[in-house]
Amino acid sequence: MKGVKAKGLIPQTFIIVGGVVEGKHMKVIYGAENKHNFIKPTGVGLGNFDGLHVGHMALIDKLIKESEQSSLDSVVYTFSKHPENIIRKELFTPLITSTRKKVELLERTRLNYLYFEKFDETFSRMEPKEFVKDILVGRLNMKLAVAGFNYRFGYQGQGDTELLYKLGKELGFTVIVIEPVMFGDEVVSSTKIRSYILDGDMEKVSAFLGRHYSVAGRVEKGKRIGNTIGFPTANIYPEDYLVLPCNGVYITKTLVDSKMYPSVTSVGYNPTFGGLDNISVETYILDFERNIYGKEIEVFFISKLRDEIKFGSAEELINQIENDVEITRKYFDI
């Protein structure tokens, strides 16, 4: 398949947002709360954008450049919930990125607006032409549409890029379709990224995302077992709608108060000490002694070290953790 090659990693930062947000230049609009009508003509990037992987970022980069050249406001139009989880409730699709993470990543671009539409059963029954005419043209004042090669829209996904071209001629907007972005012989997609996360293949995930996959959460008090064996951990319980790497131990880096630290992270149920009711992300931050209970942290997954193991004794576990830490120190050259 013809496509463009994926490029390198983008840097990591952490921004907490909420409500309707106006950053340095980007405004965030939640459609369910604010039926914002655009006065100035817009260029609109279309898609679900879960993961904001290198393919999505290529589309958004094209959107911004073309919009700037044509004096349009650039808008990424997406959904606060994954459409598949509304349409096919029995087949839940875990998300790669939270709404907050999407805002954080796009805030670094020159995008003018990020628009989160509320996708519900009523919205899902909207005919393709009605969606384009009433929402994209009528509400967003769209003069340019930028979509991926496999973009579908409207009731039962009946609309495709061919129909979008046809409606563009009829309703007066230009259409740009972005070629697939390739990594090797694979098309970069959110579906494949979810699969690689679930497999623990974090190197492939990083290549497809253009950054290390991360989960965030507030540090909670656990059983404090780590303290008793000399490896205190920061425990978080990420949102249950997010995809998590398969159970195991990973080389990670952890963001605390805007500073990044090398770390080792266990994903699982802590089977050696009787197990947990819910899956947790337990992170041992190297050379770190601060009390961070109640703080928001973000854990970035770099590489899987091993599977989760139930050890016969605390001593066996300590020996294995010491080995995990030593490998991690070598990775970070510390």
| CATH number for the domain that contains residue 143 | 3.40.50.620
- The amino acid at residue 151 is Y
When comparing pLDDT for 23 and 263, which is higher?
263
The closest of 26, 25, 20, 15 to 114, measured between CA atoms, is: 26
Task: For residues 171 and 295, state if they share a domain.
Answer: no
The verdict on residue 74 lying in a domain is yes
Domain boundary among 166, 183, 200: 183
Burial (CB < 10 A; 0-12, 13-18, 19+), residue 131, is: middle
Task: For residues 162 and 218, state if they share a domain.
Answer: no
The verdict on residue 203 lying in a domain is no
Task: For residues 36 and 153, state if they share a domain.
Answer: yes
The confidence score (pLDDT) of residue 2 equals: 54
- Taking the CA atoms of residue 120, residue 122, residue 189 and residue 31 in that order, the dihedral angle to the nearest 10 degrees is -60
CATH of the domain at 324: 2.40.30.30
Task: For residues 174 and 255, state if they share a domain.
Answer: no
Residue 88 structural domain = 4-183
Task: For residues 14 and 139, state if they share a domain.
Answer: yes
Answer yes or no: are the C-beta atoms of 132 and 159 closer than 8 Å: yes
Task: For residues 96 and 133, state if they share a domain.
Answer: yes
The closest of 183, 206, 209, 205 to 196, measured between CA atoms, is: 205
- Distance between CA atoms of residues 96 and 145, nearest Å: 25
Task: For residues 88 and 220, state if they share a domain.
Answer: no
- Give the pLDDT confidence of 176-227 residue by residue, as tens digits: 999 999 999 999 999 999 999 999 999 999 999 999 999 999 999 866 565 5
The verdict on residue 201 lying in a domain is no
Q: Residue 189 is inside which H or E element, if any? A: none
The verdict on residue 290 lying in a domain is yes
| Choice among 114-123, 147-156, 174-183 with the minimum mean pLDDT | 114-123
Is residue 88 predicted with pLDDT exceeding 60?
no
Q: What is the pTM of this model?
A: 0.86
The verdict on residue 284 lying in a domain is yes
**What is the count of structural domains for the chain?**
2
The verdict on residue 312 lying in a domain is yes
Q: In angstroms, what CA-CA distances link 228 with 248, 290, 318? A: 21, 16, 11
Task: For residues 179 and 218, state if they share a domain.
Answer: no
When comparing pLDDT for 313 and 39, which is higher?
39
The verdict on residue 195 lying in a domain is no
Answer yes or no: are the C-beta atoms of 145 and 175 closer than 8 Å: yes
Task: For residues 142 and 33, state if they share a domain.
Answer: yes
The verdict on residue 172 lying in a domain is yes
The confidence score (pLDDT) of residue 240 equals: 85
Helices (H), the chain: 54-69, 83-87, 99-106, 121-124, 128-130, 161-171, 190-199, 202-209, 225-228, 314-332
